[in-house]
A and B are shown apart, each in its own frame.
Chain A
């Protein structure tokens, strides 16, 4: 802990010394210190087991970007973090080139992340690792209404000690899209993508995918229409290790303003269709929906009530379930205090599978759940703010041994010199 405090002092001094803005660019050097706690409570062998991971850390960041009004732009965000559990480094940088009409014709992005765990870390997965992601997109043809975009991406994840839980991989993708112009208030895109992923230590699950997707987003302060669809064909190198499959994912999110309230309707659908279903891989169709209303000023304080429902159809598999709940929430977006709080209570019913005790089939037990969610940001003054995040989700099953509780809390003090 003494070391952590010394590190905090050093970072504060560094941040304080380097907080001057430079001409022609914008720079910002925030410092933050925070406390995170993760709680898992579940049944193991003969008794309940509670796993708690606590982490106290300090983070220093440097955020730079070109002038916002510049035609060609760049940005860079670098971060260093040291804590009681691990050290982290991150670099997120990119550029945008625009033509005379200020339409973007070329962009590049690079994201690098690295983590080193301290000796005796409480994290169960503690192999040091680093990962990178690079994207390039060229728009050879743009008009005021649309643009053609050719895109390529590469990514890797590397662990110091790879294992079944910490798997190295490399993947890449390339595709073409027709999209809205970069400065449009309403965004949309439609296109196709080819992807390939290689697992150096387990070639049997190497895969390639052919994707068609479309996206529409028109968000107003009051009123939203957002739609997304993706269809994918995924081929696995060894279908005996994991079957190849078709996948279809659709999401719709609408909020329609009326004189009394904003009517919210959301729907989602996910379909997995395997060539040969087996083990963890079975055909399924998950349907979700939310319906309700919210009241208040979108830029001030707002409350909402939603009825939620979900159904997983998995044929004869025991996972088939129905779920319904009621969610109430409130959010405030005041300049000095912003945040949201929500509570959902509900129940999930499973289709019972088998009465044969020697069957390999898995059994699920019905449960009631409560989901509490809190996010908040308090601007103490121009330089200091406090961020709070908390999540608590206990499940109460008809079979007590199946009870699970998930919890997460984070408290962070941020200083922007």
Chain B
């Protein structure tokens, strides 16, 4: 754009300078050309005004208004026989017309996009909001509230014509709503937790009745019952996702107490113990850094299972050794989770 401006300016100045020494016919030619130039600037302004009226925005309106003022000034300067100044103002008016038109064209697409996205957001919010309230999950509720607050800001920005920024803010609102939905729809839900809790409790009880006399199984069942208690505590504190994870752990531990289905192999058990030891260092550091008593207790429990596994392996008791190390690995993962 600047390149064009310079070319025209030099051309016009040459014409204008030449005009000083030219005869009246040449002077008339300069006047005609300036008049045509200003007239065309007027056309460009009208074109830009059409674009701006299709997609109004405070910034493009302000730039267009300034361009109109420049255009009016160029007409007056031309009438008062100041062609050089008239040209400069007309050129600036053209720049303004182009800038305003460009903003308007960009905005016309974004305005539509924002309106549709806002409508879709409202639909999703209705659907997700209800489910989040039902789930009672504190975290999901907080994401929902944050999302609604962002969406309100997006609407405010839309009202002010700040479409690009409104789209950005709305994107954040959509993301937060998605997170709330993921927690509430997929993992949360007090109804679902109650059902899962009952199912797990019955399952652990049944395994206890059937295998409680086996000392190795009893050890695993103690861990399972501890996981069950942790699930209830987490649910009471509103951490439903964590509660569901603890329930899953309780079921896995109870299953192992009942019947490991893996093929018994000494080398495989050794590999599992090695796996445990490799993870142990990282998890214990995380647990220590977190300062969580609960994570520390679960970690201790995991270590006890690991030691029993090693001892049972030395005695060539492969089946109980496998149960113990698997339980240890599960508890290690749970400690890692609690430390987070």
- Which A residues contact B (CB, under 8 angstroms)? 36, 38, 40, 42-46, 65, 68-69, 73, 75, 90, 94, 96, 109, 113, 115, 123-125, 129, 133, 164-165, 182, 185-187, 217, 219-221, 224, 228, 230, 242, 249, 270, 272, 279-281, 284, 286, 297-301, 319, 333, 335, 338, 340, 357-358, 360, 362-365, 371, 373, 375, 377, 379, 387, 389, 391, 393, 399, 401-402, 406, 408, 410
B98 to A363, Cβ gap below 8 A? yes
Complexed CA–CA distance, A364 and B186 (Å) = 46
Main secondary structure of the interface of B (DSSP, over half): helix
- How many Å lie between the Cα of A364 and that of B130 in the bound state? 46
On chain B, the residues within 8 Å of A362 by CB distance are 98, 101-102, 105
B206 at the interface (CB under 8 A from A): no
Task: Tell me whether B84 is interfacial, beta carbon within 8 Å.
Answer: no
Task: Known pairs A217-B181, A279-B54, A393-B168; list 12 more (Cβ under 8 Å).
Answer: A43-B99, A164-B61, A219-B181, A221-B183, A280-B54, A358-B40, A363-B98, A363-B102, A364-B102, A389-B169, A389-B172, A399-B1
B235 within 8 A of A: no
Q: Shortest 5 CB-CB distances between A and B: which pairs?
A: A357-B4, A124-B58, A280-B54, A165-B56, A300-B340
Q: Is B175 positioned at the interface, with any CB of A under 8 Å from its CB? A: yes
What's the Cα separation between A36 and B50 when bound, in Å? 33
Which residue of the partner chain, among B54, B66, B98, contacts A44 with CB atoms under 8 Å? Answer: B66
Q: Is the CB of B178 within 8 A of A242?
A: no
A204 and B155 CA atoms in complex are apart in Å by: 26
The answer to whether A280 and B51 touch (CB under 8 A), given A219-B178, A219-B181, A364-B102, is: yes
Given contacts A377-B142, A391-B168, contact A129 B50 (CB under 8 A): no
Q: Are B162 and A298 in contact (CB under 8 A)?
A: no
Residue of A with least CB distance to B92: A45
The SS class assigned to the A binding surface is strand
Verify B43–A280 contact, CB threshold 8 A.
no
Q: Check A165 against B1 for contact (C-beta < 8 Å).
A: no
A sample of 10 cross-chain residue pairs with beta-carbon separation below 8 angstroms, ordered by A number, consists of A65-B133, A125-B159, A221-B182, A279-B47, A297-B337, A338-B142, A360-B43, A363-B102, A364-B102, A387-B146
Q: How far is the CB of A307 from chain B (nearest CB, A)?
A: 18
Contacts of A410 in B (CB 8 A): 153
A249 touches B116 (CB 8 A): yes
B23 contacts A by Cβ under 8 Å: no
Asked whether A96 lies within 8 Å of B159 as measured between CB atoms, the reply is: no
Is B53 located at the chain interface by the 8 A CB criterion?
yes
In angstroms, Cα B7 to Cα A406, docked, is 32
Query: Is B187 part of the binding interface, using a Cβ–Cβ cutoff of 8 Å?
Result: yes
Q: Which among A124, A133, A220, A272 has the greatest number of chain B C-beta atoms within 10 A?
A: A124
Contacts of A284 in B (CB 8 A): 109
0 or 1 for each of B75-118: is its CB under 8 Å from A? (1 = yes): 00000000000000000100110110110111011000100100
> Is B54's CB under 8 angstroms from A228's CB?
no
CA distance A281 to B66 in the complex (A): 24
B161 contacts A408, C-beta separation under 8 Å? no
Q: Could you say which residues of chain B place their CB within 8 Å of the CB of A224?
A: 178, 182
Task: Give every chain A residue within 8 A of B161 (Cβ-Cβ).
Answer: 124-125, 165
Q: For B134, what are the chain A residues with a Cβ–Cβ distance below 8 Å?
A: 68-69
